[in-house]
């Protein structure tokens, strides 16, 4: 529904802007999550003895 409200032409502009901001924040969260996983994964991979 967020995509429909964000990009629909005939929805409330306040709700559309809120949904667009929400999508941007979710995208930032996903990117930060992948960065954190990559950093900790590389730390764990390099710290375990082979």
Quick: pLDDT tens for 1-43: 999 999 998 989 999 999 999 999 999 999 999 999 999 999 9
Residues 2, 23: Cα–Cα separation, whole Å? 8
Which residue segment(s) compose the domain that 19 sits in? 2-47
pLDDT at 49: 75
User: 């999550």: which residue's tokens?
Assistant: 33
What total number of domains does the chain contain? 1
Name the token pair of 26: 């979710």
Q: Is 14 exposed, middle or buried (0-12, 13-18, 19+ CB in 10 A)?
A: exposed
């Amino acid at each position: 529904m967020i995509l429909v409200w964000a990009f629909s032409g005939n929805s409330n502009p306040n709700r559309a802007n809120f949904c667009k901001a929400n999508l941007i924040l979710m995208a930032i969260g996903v990117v930060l999550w992948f960065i954190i996983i990559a950093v900790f994964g590389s730390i764990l991979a390099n710290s375990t003895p082979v």
